Amino acid sequence: MSKKETAVEFCERTYPETCSEFRVILDEMYETFCKKQRNYGPGNISVGSTLETDDDKKVALTGLWFRKNDKIQRLLQLVVKGQPDEVGENIQDTYEDLSVYGIISQIVQRKKWAK
């Protein structure tokens, strides 16, 4: 009896270079996240609260929405409209920030931020 192939096994077998690069990017994002946590701490996301109430969580998620929107607007200018960079943040950094903010949003939503 053969074992059913999982989605991960399928992807890693079918797209080994893509999957390998995905993991490299995740590791880079995690390292950047940890460095920023060491520099800023969790208060920049929780706005000084403990995120115990629904209102506290809503404030944090709203702030994260604004941060993600800033990054999307930046990508709109650089990628879609082809405007030159004027602030020195490269596209790679913008993609990474947007991805990390998405993960942080999930952590906040799950009530695991700063724990």
Are both 85 and 36 inside the same structural domain?
Answer: no
Exposure on the CB side of residue 29, measured as CA atoms within 13 A: 18
| Structural domain range at position 6 | 1-40
Are both 35 and 58 inside the same structural domain?
Answer: no
Which one-letter amino acid corresponds to residue 19? C
Domain count within the chain: 2
* Tens of each residue's pLDDT in the chain, 115 residues: 558 999 999 999 999 999 999 999 999 999 999 999 999 999 999 998 989 999 999 999 999 999 999 999 999 999 999 998 888 888 999 999 999 999 999 999 999 999 9
CA 47 distance to own-chain centroid: 18
CB neighbours (10 Å) of residue 68?
18
Are both 35 and 46 inside the same structural domain?
Answer: no
Are both 61 and 94 inside the same structural domain?
Answer: yes
